[in-house]
Structure 1
Amino acid sequence: MEKFKLFISNFLIYGFGSIISSVIPLIMLPVITRLMPDSFYYGLSDISNTIVQFGTALAVMGMYDAVFRLFFDREDTRYQKVVCSTALVFTLISSFVVFLILILFRNQFSVLFFGDARYNNVLYLTAISIFIGGTNNIVQIPTRTQNKRIVFIVLNTIGPIVSYAISIPLLLNGYYLIALPLAAVTTALTKELSFYVINRKWFDLRLFDSSTLKQLLVIAIPLLPNFLIYWIFNSSDRLMISWLIGASFTGIYAVGAKIGSAAQLIYQAFAGGWQFFAFSTMNEENQVENNSRVFEYLGAISFSCATLVFALSHWLFQLLFTGVYVDAYICAPYLFLAPLMQMLFQVACNQFLVIKKTWPNMLILSVGAIINVMLNLVLIPFIGIEGASIATLVGYIVSDIICCCVLIRMKLMVVSKRFIFISILMAGFIIVWRLALIKSTLLSLIAAVAVICIILKCYWSDIVGLFPGGKYESSKA
């Protein structure tokens, strides 16, 4: 249980830091939407952020996870510095290449992404964000590998403050197009400089080593398609909405996705604590059981939180927003649950990374991504933004199911009957909510509480075991 207490402590600490960085944008979202005269502007800003996510994933090329994997191979500080420095040199070059391509073909990309070459000033800021974001991922790795949790909390507090200190004055002065992209650039730069100053002893460009780069690329390159597929899951729906029904709907969908991204409070906490836990315990004898148990616990937490979001979504949007933005309530619950399904996939597929086989991740995610895109093409013209959110969630669920089945067959994972039961229960709740309870907050809330009570009942012995004096009972597959 000591290992689980380590994971839970990391989960809570990183969760606190993530809450600070995520709650501020959620609180400010109604303010931002009221300062923008049209959802079209918010839609363009969201598309810019979508391109940043794609370009950054392309520039980093899986190097973040590869560094984590090699960092714990040896207890040798010089070797660890070589790994970090080599990765930084690589991402500096790759980020600059992506930046240069966007700048050289700015008019063409502006038409492709924003629908008009007049918006190439937004593309400039997008390109700069990608260049900064690529290297930003690497310079913060030593903070994570050393488990410096307080630093994480402080820097995640500074980021949103800097962002809104820049964007709100710009919006008040009518700079609707560039306010949010410019704020994103400044925030990313602030965090990168801060992390580099803190971790500078881990980086020395003279320590670049071509043989180490080859080792990193062996792990990283198979991961690149995974990150691009994640982008398809999380971001391509914005572009498809813009192309199929218009950028104004993208703005509405983006608001729903922002509220839905409250799931990042759980996901980011998981990500912060997970990599340290996963790789520091990967050689233990009961690793398969531990990994499977974490998968189940996070699944139970995800389902419990998601039921409340489904129940309260309509009431919450009526309370916080006005005009067309209220319509975003329909997609927020699905987009809350989707990143949590992504989190479960990452827990499960970590087993492939432990045995240094990353290609199954790509194949499994590809199936989910293809289903996502196909459902987008069918559902967006039929039921609008709700269709895009359903497509994203279904794609992740399919990937989770396939991944679990493969790992169980390989004896790298066990899934208990109680988890299968609560998964079916959650699916039933969503169907009933959509068909009968969607406009009744009271009835939805009663149903949500009932589901949560059943989940607590299923895992009560495990919950008791986490406290001093509690007796833990291992789950049975």
Structure 2
Amino acid sequence: MSIKSQISNLTRHSFIYTISTFIQRAQGLIMLPLYTSPRFITDQSAYGDYTLIYTFMAFMNLFYLYGMDSAFLRFSYAKEYRRQDVYKTAFLTVGLSAFILSLIIFFASSSVSYVVFGPGDYEFFVKAAALILLFDTFSNLPYLILRVEEKSITFSTIRIIRFITELLLNLFFLGWLNLGVKGILYANIIAAVFNILILLPYQFSYFKGRFEKNILKQLLLFGLPLIPNSLAFMVVEVSDKYMMRLLLDKDTLGIYSANYKFGSILLFLVVAFRTAWQPFFLKVAESEDAKKIYSKVLTYFSLLSILVIILVSYFIQDIVNIPLPGSLQLLGKDYLSGVIIIPIILTAYFFYGLYVNFTVGIYIRKKTKLMIIFTGLAALVNVGSNIYLMPAFGIMGAAFATLLSYVIMATTIFIANQKVYPIIYEYGRLAFLLILLILSLSVLYYLEPGFLTRIVIVLALPLLLILSGFIKQDEIKALRSIIKR
């Protein structure tokens, strides 16, 4: 298969995953008019509670999977094992450990709630989180089956069904019954159970496999070394929220978290790309043109990401003020002071996307033990910079700490990747894109252009890319062919 065909295939799957990922993760954005309205969630502090319980779940999720998801993907392509045996072994192991872990959290909810929230009656939140974590674990591995089999449409359809279910339940528990954060958790629990039932038919053939101790050993040898890496990554991803409760207050946390969701728009793209990327690069690793493909993918990913950053950053102030029915707006008025962090968070997730791109050599050369170095250093930088910047600069300090952490992560893995699996990237084109991003955001922050000026700047970008020779004629033709498909 040619380079263009390979990239076209990756683009198609990534696009489909992007749609489902965006729709699923957009729930937080879609519900923001309710979440940030005092009629439904009383104040910023209550929204801070919502942030803390979901931060806890994101952190605990790595202990529920302990690298077995990545290990399953890795050994699904191994010729020496039957895929059904790999799945059965992983599923039974993860299922049992998840059940035990949820029992521990459930019965220790009083102690856990004090650690997460501080003084107060939050035991229900923790017990609900234990159930959600358990049910979501039973859904994670079936989704991997669909990824391995490249059933991106089925994958996306089920994700969308889950999203619609949870959205409707949110509207019922929060909008109709007015249960606040408890209503959000009720909706999540019911949707998670429904999701398990939908995914059952896709596992039947895999349940015919056998539990193999040798496979379990290989899965653990691959997956367990990823735990320190995942733990460090979680520190980068969520420590700012927890530290903000300690160093500032829950009101500030609520403002920061609500705006952070808009900054996470680029994360939708990165997660969708990552979903398609790992199976893709493992599949083409033996191809003669593999490194050329990886190089092109990085350039196209960077182009798309930077255009998204500029577009969202230039118009986010207008978007969040859009009036909605019921005297609501996309972001509650009490939260608008945090909009300034959004371009910074968007840029941070671009560097996370670079990190995802650079994992290719680490996985192919089976050097996953090195990943703790990249994420560990980033975690240390994150905690240190948050301690220093957050008290002095508030939410902007936390945003810059996040950006700095992802820059460190991307830079260090790039250096290591080039040593174990050298790839000649298109450095000139990448430098052009970075300069374009820096100049665009500098104009936005320091010159504060008006609405019409911002429209002119954004519309001029495609013309600039073509006239500068950045985009080549054969790439335009290839893009047209992909769109037609």
User: Please, what TM-score do these two structures have when normalized by structure 1?
Assistant: 0.91
Is the alpha carbon distance of 1:296 and 1:222 closer, same or farther for their aligned partners in structure 2, counting shifts above 3 Å?
Answer: farther
Contact 1:242 1:250 in 2 (8 A): yes
Using the alignment, how far apart are the partners of 2:264 and 2:197 within structure 1? Answer: 26
How far the C-alpha of 1:8 sits from its partner, in A, is 1.1
Give the alignment partner of residue 204 of structure 2, picking from 200, 205, 208: 200
Using the alignment, how far apart are the partners of 1:459 and 1:85 within structure 2? Answer: 48
Give the alignment partner of residue 79 of structure 2, picking from 74, 79, 98: 74
State whether structure 2 residue 479 is matched by structure 1 residue 463.
no
Contact 2:173 2:186 in 1 (8 A): no
State whether structure 2 residue 203 is matched by structure 1 residue 191.
no
Using the alignment, how far apart are the partners of 2:220 and 2:431 within structure 1? Answer: 37
Residues 79-137 of structure 1: per-residue CA shift (max 9 Å, x gap): 10110111111211222233133223211211111122411100101111111222321
Amino-acid identity (%)? 23
Residues 57-78 of structure 1: per-residue CA shift (max 9 Å, x gap): 11101111111111011286xx
Contact 1:260 1:334 in 2 (8 A): yes
Name the residue aligned to 1:219: 222
Using the alignment, how far apart are the partners of 1:115 and 1:400 within structure 2? Answer: 34
Give the alignment partner of residue 312 of structure 2, picking from 306, 309, 312: 309
Name the residue aligned to 1:145: 148
How far the C-alpha of 1:363 sits from its partner, in A, is 0.4
Is the alpha carbon distance of 1:443 and 1:379 closer, same or farther for their aligned partners in structure 2, counting shifts above 3 Å?
Answer: farther
Helix, strand or coil: the match of 1:118? Answer: coil
Contact 1:341 1:400 in 2 (8 A): yes
Query: Number of aligned pairs?
Result: 466
Is the alpha carbon distance of 1:431 and 1:151 closer, same or farther for their aligned partners in structure 2, counting shifts above 3 Å?
Answer: same
Is the alpha carbon distance of 1:367 and 1:458 closer, same or farther for their aligned partners in structure 2, counting shifts above 3 Å?
Answer: farther
Give the alignment partner of residue 402 of structure 2, picking from 392, 414, 421: 392
Stretches of structure 2 lacking an aligned partner (at least 5 in a row): 323-329
Which residue identity does 2:51 align to in structure 1?
Answer: D
Q: How does 1:36-185 map to 2 (within 5 A)?
A: 36-74=41-79, 79-171=82-174, 172-185=176-189
Using the alignment, how far apart are the partners of 2:414 and 2:266 within structure 1? Answer: 22
Give the alignment partner of residue 7 of structure 2, picking from 4, 9, 15: 4
Q: How does 1:427-466 map to 2 (within 5 A)?
A: 427-437=438-448, 440-450=450-460, 453-455=463-465, 457=468, 459-461=470-472, 463-464=475-476, 466=478
Name the residue aligned to 1:418: 429
How far the C-alpha of 1:364 sits from its partner, in A, is 1.2
Name the residue aligned to 2:326: none
Is the alpha carbon distance of 1:448 and 1:58 closer, same or farther for their aligned partners in structure 2, counting shifts above 3 Å?
Answer: farther
How far the C-alpha of 1:161 sits from its partner, in A, is 1.8
| The 10-residue stretch of structure 1 (181-190 or 297-306) with the greater mean CA deviation from structure 2 | 181-190
Give the alignment partner of residue 264 of structure 1, picking from 252, 262, 267: 267
Name the residue aligned to 1:333: 343
How far the C-alpha of 1:444 sits from its partner, in A, is 4.6
Contact 2:47 2:254 in 1 (8 A): yes
Name the residue aligned to 1:475: none
Which residue identity does 2:230 align to in structure 1?
Answer: F
Contact 1:292 1:348 in 2 (8 A): no
| The 10-residue stretch of structure 1 (61-70 or 278-287) with the greater mean CA deviation from structure 2 | 278-287
Residues 317-362 of structure 1: per-residue CA shift (max 9 Å, x gap): 2332232111221122222333332222112112111111102222
Name the residue aligned to 1:368: 378
User: Please, what TM-score do these two structures have when normalized by structure 2?
Assistant: 0.89
Using the alignment, how far apart are the partners of 1:236 and 1:370 within structure 2? Answer: 11
Name the residue aligned to 1:474: none
Which residue identity does 1:128 align to in structure 2?
Answer: L
How far the C-alpha of 1:396 sits from its partner, in A, is 0.7
Using the alignment, how far apart are the partners of 2:408 and 2:461 within structure 1? Answer: 22
Q: Please report the RMSD computed on the Cα atoms of aligned residues, expressed in angstroms.
A: 2.3
Contact 1:252 1:328 in 2 (8 A): yes
| The 10-residue stretch of structure 1 (131-140 or 238-247) with the greater mean CA deviation from structure 2 | 131-140
Contact 2:361 2:420 in 1 (8 A): no
Is the alpha carbon distance of 1:96 and 1:85 closer, same or farther for their aligned partners in structure 2, counting shifts above 3 Å?
Answer: same
State whether structure 2 residue 354 is matched by structure 1 residue 351.
no
